[in-house]
């Protein structure tokens, strides 16, 4: 459910970008970009799920927390 919800958030982000920059993307472009992003996200979550023998839901949390930690570290947070 976490990963599925992120698909809607991703497409909402695309809409925001289009409005902010005055772009109009075709349905094919939105679909291709969303498909690529969601496929990559699923592959990461699935790999973590298999590696640690945890549910996809918990794996989604692990991937998300790791991404936040890496960003925090990159920006000099610790």
Which run of H or of E encompasses 47?
helix 27-52
Considering its fold, how many domains does the chain have in total? 1
**Structural domain boundaries, residue 50:** 2-74
Q: For 26-78, what is each residue's pLDDT tens digit?
A: 999 999 999 999 999 999 999 999 999 999 999 999 999 999 999 998 888 66
Helix (H) / strand (E) element for 61: namely helix 56-74
The pLDDT value given to residue 78: 62
Question: What is the C-alpha separation between 72 and 37, in angstroms, rounded?
Answer: 22
Which among 54, 66, 5, 11 has a CA at the least distance from the CA of 34? Answer: 11
C-alpha 22/C-alpha 40 separation (Å) is: 27
Instruction: Give 14-36 pLDDT, tens digit per residue.
Output: 999 999 999 899 999 999 999 99
């Amino acid at each position: 459910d976490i990963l599925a919800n992120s698909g809607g958030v991703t497409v909402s982000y695309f809409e925001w970008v289009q409005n902010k920059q005055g772009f109009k993307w075709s349905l094919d472009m939105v679909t291709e970009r969303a498909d690529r992003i969601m496929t990559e996200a699923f592959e990461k979550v699935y790999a973590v799920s298999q590696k640690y023998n945890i549910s996809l839901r918990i794996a989604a949390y692990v991937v998300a927390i790791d991404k936040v930690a890496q960003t925090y570290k990159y920006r000099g947070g610790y």
